[in-house]
Amino acid sequence: MRPNFITKLIDGEIAAGLHSEIVTRFPPDPNGFLHIGHAMAVCLNFGVARDYGGYVNLRFDDTNPTTADPVCVEAIQEDIRWLGYSWKNVLFASDYFDELYAMAVRLIEVGKAYVDSLSEEEIREYRGTVTEPGRESPYRSRSAAESLELFDRMRRGEFAEGAHVLRAKIDMASPNMIMRDPILYRILHEPHYRTGDRWHVYPMYDFAHPLSDAIEGVTHSLCSLEFENNREIYDWLVDELFEPPRPHQYEFARLNFEHAVMSKRLLTPLAKSGLVEGWDDPRMPTLAALRRRGVTPAAIREFVDRLGVTKTNSVADLGLLEYTIRDDLNRHAPRVLAVTRPLRAVLSNYPGGKVERLAAPYWPPDVPNRGSRELPFARELYLERDDFSEDPPPGWRRLSPGAEVRLRHAYLIRCDEVVRDEEGELLELRCSYDPDSLGVNPPGRRIAGAIHWLAAPSALPAEFRLYDRLFRVPSPDPPLGGDASRESLTVCHGFVEPSVAHDSAETRYQFERLGYFWRDPKSSAPVGLVFNRIITLRSSWNAGGEVRRDDPTKSGGAQASPPGEAPDPVAALTAEQRASFERYSALELSRNEAALLAGNSDLANFFEEALAHQGSPASLANWVVNELLRVAKVIPLSELPFGPAEFARLVALVDDNALSSRAAKEVLKGMLAGEGDPDAIVAARGFTQVSDASALESVITRVLEANPEKVEVFRQGKTGLLGFFMGQVMRETGGKANPQLTRGILEAKLRRPATPGDR
């Protein structure tokens, strides 16, 4: 895997000695097939486990007995194996129903969960909205004993569905809707395909998922962005019920595509609609369909790897998938000849019964593979209908009346005559061949192009299925029928060269000039040869050819934000805060800093305490707002390993010019790490600023002499390199160089062509 924010995180954790083994899990809902959008999740979870020498548990999330489908359980395993991954255990959330139930009981016992008897609608009403807090259920204060008894009776099936639910007791006013007493268990009188009729209560995803992770010892639970809000309940439950080390959930952006429907909601009806053949119809975005179409797992892995793992919502470019498919096939698919739309051509000067066997390499010179086969050549040929034009457009490099082309691996031919039937329909071509042109171009003749062909007597009949994207529009929506393209499948009847009869059925070919194909694994064997087109060749020929796939409907790039103007920060302050603001302003803080402090009492208190110790108000406010605020987002100020006094001392060191601000930030890091007070850190690590001009000068000279070519480039105008030189000097001096001084000397030395004798 390429490095990404997940692998970097794990690298850090491993360096810190946090893990003995990395364990991930892949948790499909056994309902619906895996599709290309899942490929990211599969490659990430399995790739991380593989790269770090850990393992993956394949765990089917079968917490809902009404939707789980055993057919999908098998199909999903096959898809993952096909992608090239293996797991350590195949597990089911239902394996943990007993443990999960016991944990729910424990939660009730400690007063962290209760049985609620509100109706479904009431629960919804009580939950409030995203902008208004919810209200507590009257049953929330029910005794643990009563909840315990009710929950047990729920389990035994004594109540109707919906009569009661088990909820966590958290906070009905939480700004995160998910934390408003989330439902943990619901009554479902539904047999489960693995546990039968043993249970009448089933856990919700939010309950089962984190706890299953914890039970299994999963270290990294990687899921898609839409579960970000669920992380809070994940952490709450795991902290409540488990001791560290515990699993953590991380979210990444899942794959999105244009011209494809990928939600289960849309895919399932499509699979069953008759519009396509089913889940594995080669036009579907499922992995089963891609597999049947002939796409290689390596191409999909490469595609996912090139996209990368991030938290940015994005739409994947089909062009990249096409590229990785072609790139893989180009190196692995032998070239053979096939004609999809046959046009007969008779060579009038070639003897009737004669058949030549021409040696034809399977690979072009640029692909480092060897091997060749014999290609029969005869008087009667099939050419590609699209390779002949009676009225060729400019730039035509194929056959036309009177023109001469190369038959690939064979002779030059010229079209002498066009034969038509009574209706004027093109019937066949009369051509003549040049017997001296095998393997050589006769001197003095420019041959524009080469076309593919087949000797009619030995050509094998075959069916070709040419697939195009299913949907014309970038974001298809139901009703699906209207958006589905009728041209998404074209069936042609033509021929292939006889050599393919000897090949393994899984061989992927390049039919020269047509695209990559393989035999359809479902319909080929008994019926005859049926080839799926995996993908076309890239083509730069466009005149009169296929329509470019540019989308006029495609929206433009990101919209520029309108020229913005920040509102006055003071306007939002309360009267009391405004008083503080006035006080801070009098201290000559900037307007923004004064307003920020006035509106943040924790920060303001810290600031005022620091001010009581030493330092100028303006620099102190500067450091509090620009540096301390960042750490305050992670650690509450009260839990800092240092206090306002130490912070004030740090700022004073900068003000006294003893420390560069760069070094001061390093010192702050040290203080955060609990290394002691600023003076101690400065002494221990030798951070004292170097402001001695001659000392700096010698360092700078060294840096410039070590990078003569950079100096040259700088003098040619790439002034951005100043940052590079500054960085080098800082590195040399361990960040202690006085930056203003350094910059001044650096600029002076760079401007004029250095010392005499130099260069």
Partner RNA sequence: UGGCCCAUCGUCUAAUGGCAGGACAACCGGUUUUGGUCCGGUCGGUCGGGGUUCGAAUCCCUGUGGGCCAGCCA
Applying the rule CB under 7 A, the residues between 332 and 351 that interact with RNA are 335
Q: Shortest gap between Cβ of 343 and RNA (angstroms)?
A: 16
Binding map of RNA across residues 678-717, x = CB under 7 A, - = no contact: --------------------------------x-------
Measured from the CB atom, the residue of 276 and 377 that comes closer to RNA is 377
Only one of the segments 84-92, 347-355, 565-573, 675-683 lies at the binding site for RNA (rule: CB under 7 A); that segment is: 565-573
Measured from the CB atom, the residue of 488 and 689 that comes closer to RNA is 689
- Helix (H) / strand (E) element for 203: namely strand 201-203
- Cα separation, 49 vs 290, whole angstroms: 25
Only one of the segments 96-104, 278-286, 322-330, 636-644 lies at the binding site for RNA (rule: CB under 7 A); that segment is: 322-330
Give the tokens for residue 355: 């058949």
Measured from the CB atom, the residue of 27 and 276 that comes closer to RNA is 27
Contact (Cβ atoms closer than 8 angstroms) between residue 1 and residue 305: yes
Only one of the segments 18-26, 119-127, 419-427, 686-694 lies at the binding site for RNA (rule: CB under 7 A); that segment is: 119-127
Q: Is 352 in the site for RNA (CB under 7 A)?
A: no
Measured from the CB atom, the residue of 123 and 287 that comes closer to RNA is 123
Q: Shortest gap between Cβ of 398 and RNA (angstroms)?
A: 5
What long-range pairs does 395-399 form, CB within 8 A, spacing at least 24? 395/541, 395/543, 396/448, 396/543, 397/448, 397/449, 398/448, 398/449, 398/451, 399/429, 399/451
Burial grade of 608 (CB within 10 A; 0-12, 13-18, 19 or more): middle
Only one of the segments 149-157, 344-352, 586-594, 673-681 lies at the binding site for RNA (rule: CB under 7 A); that segment is: 586-594
Q: Applying CB under 7 A, what is the total number of residues that bind RNA?
A: 130
Measured from the CB atom, the residue of 80 and 596 that comes closer to RNA is 596
Q: Is 372 in the site for RNA (CB under 7 A)?
A: no
Measured from the CB atom, the residue of 306 and 472 that comes closer to RNA is 306
Compute how many other C-beta atoms are within 10 angstroms of the C-beta atom of residue 587.
Answer: 16
Residue selected from 131, 638, 694, 716 as contacting RNA according to rule CB under 7 A:
131
Q: Shortest gap between Cβ of 527 and RNA (angstroms)?
A: 27
Measured from the CB atom, the residue of 259 and 406 that comes closer to RNA is 406
Compute how many other C-beta atoms are within 10 angstroms of the C-beta atom of residue 514.
Answer: 22
Q: Is 16 in the site for RNA (CB under 7 A)?
A: no
Residue selected from 273, 369, 553, 740 as contacting RNA according to rule CB under 7 A:
740
Measured from the CB atom, the residue of 196 and 319 that comes closer to RNA is 319
Q: Shortest gap between Cβ of 590 and RNA (angstroms)?
A: 6
Kindly identify the residues of this chain, within the stretch 661-680, that bind RNA according to CB under 7 A. 661-662, 665
Q: Is 592 in the site for RNA (CB under 7 A)?
A: yes
Kindly identify the residues of this chain, within the stretch 50-79, that bind RNA according to CB under 7 A. 61, 63-64, 67
**In degrees rounded to 5, what are phi and psi of residue 578?**
-65, -35
Residue selected from 523, 585, 590, 605 as contacting RNA according to rule CB under 7 A:
590
Q: What share of the chain is helix, strand, coil (3-state, %, to 5)?
A: 40, 20, 40
Kindly identify the residues of this chain, within the stretch 214-253, that bind RNA according to CB under 7 A. 225-230, 253
Whether residue 478 has a cis bond before it, omega within 30° of 0: no
Put residue 53 in one of left, alpha, beta given phi > 0 → left and psi -120 to 50 → alpha: left
Q: Is 633 in the site for RNA (CB under 7 A)?
A: yes
Measured from the CB atom, the residue of 281 and 302 that comes closer to RNA is 302
Give the three-class secondary structure for 676. Answer: coil
Kindly identify the residues of this chain, within the stretch 453-492, that bind RNA according to CB under 7 A. none
Relative orientation angle of helices 721-732 and 708-715, to the nearest 10 degrees: 150
User: What is the layout of strands, in order, in the sheet containing 453-455?
Assistant: 450-451, 404-407, 412-420, 426-434, 342-347, 380-384, 453-455
Q: Shortest gap between Cβ of 218 and RNA (angstroms)?
A: 15
Compute how many other C-beta atoms are within 10 angstroms of the C-beta atom of residue 671.
Answer: 22
**Longest Cα–Cα distance in the chain:** 109
Q: DSSP strand E in 284-354: where?
A: 335-336, 338-339, 342-347
Residue selected from 238, 241, 500, 625 as contacting RNA according to rule CB under 7 A:
625
- Cα separation, 124 vs 244, whole angstroms: 35
Compute how many other C-beta atoms are within 10 angstroms of the C-beta atom of residue 266.
Answer: 15
Only one of the segments 1-9, 10-18, 36-44, 472-480 lies at the binding site for RNA (rule: CB under 7 A); that segment is: 1-9
Q: Is 25 in the site for RNA (CB under 7 A)?
A: no
Kindly identify the residues of this chain, within the stretch 407-446, that bind RNA according to CB under 7 A. 407-410, 437-441
Dihedral in degrees, nearest 10, Cα atoms 668, 673, 674, 675: -70
Q: Shortest gap between Cβ of 366 and RNA (angstroms)?
A: 4
According to DSSP, residue 738 is labeled -
Binding map of RNA across residues 535-564, x = CB under 7 A, - = no contact: --xxxxx-x-------------xxxxxxxx
Q: DSSP strand E in 378-411: where?
A: 380-384, 404-407
Q: Shortest gap between Cβ of 298 and RNA (angstroms)?
A: 15
Kindly identify the residues of this chain, within the stretch 192-211, that bind RNA according to CB under 7 A. 202, 204-206, 209
- Cα separation, 730 vs 4, whole angstroms: 28
Q: Shortest gap between Cβ of 427 and RNA (angstroms)?
A: 23
Contact (Cβ atoms closer than 8 angstroms) between residue 407 and residue 453: yes
Closest CA to 166 of 190, 189, 142: 142
Kindly identify the residues of this chain, within the stretch 142-171, that bind RNA according to CB under 7 A. 161-162, 165
Q: Shortest gap between Cβ of 203 and RNA (angstroms)?
A: 7
Give the tokens for residue 297: 């797992």
Measured from the CB atom, the residue of 115 and 484 that comes closer to RNA is 115
Q: Is 723 in the site for RNA (CB under 7 A)?
A: yes
Residue selected from 96, 396, 606, 687 as contacting RNA according to rule CB under 7 A:
396
